[in-house]
Each structure stands twice: as C-alpha cells, then as structure tokens.
Amino acid sequence: MSLEDSQADAADPLDAWRQFFALERDVIVLSLAMFAFSLSFQMTSRYMAEYMVALGATGVAVGLFGTAGNVISAVYPYPGGAISDRIGSRYALTAFGLLATIGFGVWLAAPLLADVAVGPTNLAIVGIFLGLILAQAWKSFGLGATYAIVKQAVPPSQLAAGFASTESFRRTAFLVGPLIAAIVFAPFTSASDEVIFAFQVILVVAVAFGIFGTLVQHRLYDSSDDSFGKEFEGVSQLLADLRNLPDPLRPLLVGDTLVRFANGMVYVFFVLVVTDFLAVGLALPTSVPGVGDSLSPQAYFGLLLSLEMAVALLVMIPAAKAAERVGLKPVVALGFLVYAVFPIMLISVPEGGVGALSTAGVLAVLFAFSGLRFAGLPAHKALIVGPAEMGAGGRVSGAYYLLRNVIVIPSAALGGFLWAGLSNPLTGETILAGDPVLAFTIATVIGLVGTGYFLVFGEEFEAYA
C-alpha cells in the first residue's frame, strides 16, 4: 500500500467534521441522524426522574424505571446487531428511529393519564414505562449497527480514532440537548405543574428531532457500502456468540460490568441530587427578563450536563490519539476510575461550598471532572469491536452488551431501595431506611473494585500493543 493510500484509509478524528463542512452526503446523513436522536434522548432521559416525581412517582418507582432501562439495554443490542448485520444499517436504523420517536410521543402524552389510579401509582407512570420500551430503540437496538459501520470503514489500528470521530457528533448533541432543556426550564419554578409543562415542551422538541432524524437517514443514507453477515440462526447462535467472545474481551467485560453496575445504581438519581437533595440553583450576576436573578435547580442541572459534555468533547479526540501511543488499556482504565469516584464526590458536596467556591461552583467543578470519563469511551469501543471478524461486528458488540447489561439490570432498583428505603407493603413496617449517601457510597466501592480488576487482568488489543 502506498503512503497516499495509507493516509487516505487512516481515521482522522477531525475528518468527519471536514467532510461535513465539505457537504459530502453520506457523512452529513449519518452525522445528522446521530445528532438528532442523541439530542432527543439526552435532553429527555436525564430529566426523567424529575418528570416522574412531578407526576407522583416515588424514589422506588424511579429506581425501577432505571432497572427497566437496564432490561432494555440488555435485551435490545444483540437482536439489533443481528438485524443490522442481516438487512444493513439503513433499514435497521430507520426502523429503530421511528420506534424511538413514537416513544417520545408517549412520554409527551403521559400527563393526560395522571388522574387514573393504577394500584399504588397512576396511569401516567405506567405510560412512562411503556414509552421507554420505544424511546430507547434507536439508542440500544441501533448500537450494533453503529459499531458495524465503524468496524467496516476503519483500519484496526485506528479504531479508537474512528470511534472518537462518530462520538464527537453524538456528544455534541449531548452538549446541546441539556442547554435546550436549561433554556426551557429557565422561566419556570420547581413547582410540579411547571416542571411537567416545561418537560412537555422539551418532549415536543425531541419528537421533532426524532422525525427529522428518521426521514433524513432513510431517504438520503447511501447503503451501498453496508456489509452483511450471515442470517441469524436463533438462540443457538446467540449462545455460540457468547461462548466465542474474543479472549481480550473477558477481563474487560468483568471490569466494565462492575463499573456499569455501580453507575446504574445512582445514574438516574443525579438530577434529584442537584434539584432535591442539594436543591442548588445558580445566582445570576444580573436580572434576566422572564427568568429573574437566578436559575432554578432544574435549569442549572442542564447547564451542568452541558459543561460535562463540553469537557468530554475536548478530551475524547486527544485521548484516542494517546491510545495509539500508550495503548487502549490505560485510557479505558482512566474512564472507569472517573465513573467510580464521581458518585461519592457528588453526594458529599458540603452545604455552603468549599473554600471560595459556592455549592453551585463545586458542582460545576465536579461535572467538569465527570466529563473525563468519556475520555476512555472511544478506546473502550475499540477494545470491544477490534477483535471481531469483519461482518460480525454488530453481533460481537451486541453479545458483549447483552451479557454486561443483563447483569447490570437490578442495579437501578437496588439504588432506588437504598435511596428511598423499603417498607413491608402489608404492615407498613420499615425494612430498610432510605439513605442517598449510603446508595452513592456503595456505588463508588463497587466501581473501584471493577476498575482495579481491569487494571490487573485487562488485556490489550494487539493492534495497539
């Protein structure tokens, strides 16, 4: 291969942006679709606990919602990857996008059902759970398809950089989405009815972006370069894929599962820590018409998420390049470590702040630090899909996430019980007193165990060794 050919095949993390502004159609289509769905899901899912509480849900129900999301994350990726390998990314992602858009619409309509009692809850909360089944389709069903696209297009030694390129578009949406949410929440107070109305406005935006993303990727995406694997052969193939996961994935899977279990225990409660447990808004230097002299905790949480993602975007590409020099393992381990320690740092923010920093300032520093966890994400994905055979990237990544996410399923429910407590439904007697600090502390301990395991036993992908 000539030097020119080698350079042409190399994955430049900035190339996606250059191609976008050069108006190359395939890059525009894939990037816009990824941006649209990532924005829609990010600006809604991170506020879902707040929405549910405003609709009458308990902390236990919020935890169960997180566990339902874990079930979907476990069940969807493998069949999604198999579908993608079989019919190609274009039709797979279009179908998943349509389902997700309908899911956002179900969430939008849920408050109309709040007056209908269903046992200890109401029909609106049931609708939230039903909407989740659909809303997470593009994110989880489409996981294998997005992995397969990068796998077929990028040389093995450049996989981390290739994933950094696609992640840059996706994480830009993760930055913009919370900003939109913060702007919507800014004129409102923390009253339940105002939270519900503001979130419905956000859901209207999500539905619009979902429709846009679905139409764009179906009508304009050029599928001529899609690679196709063999036809799905049922449960026997699934079991074979699980047994035959490449050896470098096994210690990664153990460490990753522990870290994700820890994060799953508390992730859905991050918004409640800011808006309820700490109840921290942001004082503005001057009064803003329609907003006043301060931002509500809900609006400030959106700014914190955007700050987190801004840091992620700054560090992701340099980290992917660093992985080419130092290997994937240390970069992945850094991301695991940040995942692990963030919960205890967040729940331990003292009232009144630290030194010259107010509580709001300390939260800003912590969420900026949390953005560093994304530094290891492209390297992590490269370590998952790198050892897979061409044409099987969707199934390998799907099998990996299936096994990991099945084990992680009960994490959010466990976190919910630790957060809100547990009572005997017959006698009302308290079985476990709720303690958010305990929930977040246990999460950090589990995360540190997973990080340590990966550091000791994790293997390097040979293209980076």
Calpha distance 55→53 (Å, rounded): 5
Which pLDDT band, with edges at 50, 70 and 90, does 231 fall under? very low
Question: Distance between alpha carbon 210 and the CA centroid of its chain, in Å?
Answer: 17
Calpha distance 66→330 (Å, rounded): 30
Express each pLDDT in 23-78 by its tens digit.
345 445 666 777 888 889 888 989 999 999 999 998 889 999 999 988 887 777 66
- DSSP codes joined into one string, 3-66: HHHHHHHS--TTHHHHHHHTT-HHHHHHHHHHHHHHHHHHHHHTTHHHHHHHTT--HHHHHHHH
Q: Which token pair is 98?
A: 């349509």
Q: Is 79 helix (H, G, I), strand (E, B) or coil?
A: helix
- Give the domain ranges of the chain: 15-220+230-464
Q: What is the mean pLDDT of the chain?
A: 80
Look at 389 and 309; give whichever has higher pLDDT: 309
pLDDT (mean) for 191-215? 93
- DSSP codes joined into one string, 200-240: HHHHHHHHHHHHHHHHHHHHH---TT----PPP--HHHHHH
15-220+230-464: CATH, from 1.20.1250.20, 2.60.40.10, 3.40.47.10, 1.20.1090.10: 1.20.1250.20
Contacts (Cβ under 8 Å, ≥6 apart) of 197: 188
| pLDDT of res. 324 | 78
pTM reported for the whole predicted model: 0.81
Nearest to 215 by CA among 224, 205, 227, 207: 207
Express each pLDDT in 315-350 by its tens digit.
887 887 888 788 888 889 999 999 999 999 999 998
Calpha distance 359→131 (Å, rounded): 35
| pLDDT of res. 165 | 60
pLDDT (mean) for 111-131? 91
In this structure, are residues 463 and 275 in contact, taking their beta carbons and an 8 Å threshold? no
Q: Which token pair is 216?
A: 């764009």
Any idea which of 181-185, 385-389, 399-403 has the lowest mean pLDDT? 385-389
In this structure, are residues 140 and 69 in contact, taking their beta carbons and an 8 Å threshold? no
The strand pairing partners of 433, in sequence order, are 421
User: What string of H, E and C letters represents the secondary structure of 150-209?
Assistant: HHHHCCHHHHHHHHHHHHHHHHHHHHHHHHHHHHHHCCCCCCHHHHHHHHHHHHHHHHHH
Q: Is 106 helix (H, G, I), strand (E, B) or coil?
A: helix
Tell me the Ramachandran region of residue 122: left when phi exceeds 0, alpha when psi lies from -120 to 50, beta otherwise: beta
Q: Which token pair is 304?
A: 């914190």
Nearest to 260 by CA among 386, 132, 399, 377: 377
Contacts (Cβ under 8 Å, ≥6 apart) of 320: 13, 160, 161, 163, 164, 331, 378, 379
Express each pLDDT in 294-321 by its tens digit.
899 999 999 999 999 999 888 887 887 8
